[in-house]
Amino acid sequence: MNIQCSYYLFGITNKSQFYNVLVNIFALYANILTNMEINRIKVVLAETKRKNKWLAHQLGKDESTISQWCSNTRQPSLENLNKIAKLLERDIKDLLNNTSK
């Protein structure tokens, strides 16, 4: 299927409108991803009465990195997530939100 056929599928008559629709779709998708709370590190730290500073020290990371993980602005690697689970004596699944909702 060429791009011109794609225009007609969306009821769009020119290339400019088509690109605007694509930009809006990608912006919406990016917004959904950035607002998604993937991990529960902050919650589990609170449940175990631990602080970001403690976790940063245990992992040898900056407190700002832990803060970004807790606010879900960045995500830890699977290796770091596994280390966190072991430090907090929790199953790694406890550190992740259910994504099937």
Q: Smallest Cα–Cα separation from 78: which of 60, 100, 98, 95?
A: 95
Query: Per-residue pLDDT tens for 39-79?
Result: 999 999 999 999 999 999 999 999 999 999 999 888 999 99
Do 50 and 88 form a contact (C-beta atoms < 8 A)? yes
Q: Does domain 41-95 have CATH number 1.10.260.40?
A: yes
Query: Per-residue pLDDT tens for 75-99?
Result: 999 999 999 999 999 999 999 988 7
Q: Smallest Cα–Cα separation from 41: which of 80, 91, 82, 96?
A: 96
Residue ranges per structural domain of the chain: 3-34, 41-95
State the CB neighbour count (10 A cutoff) for residue 50. 14
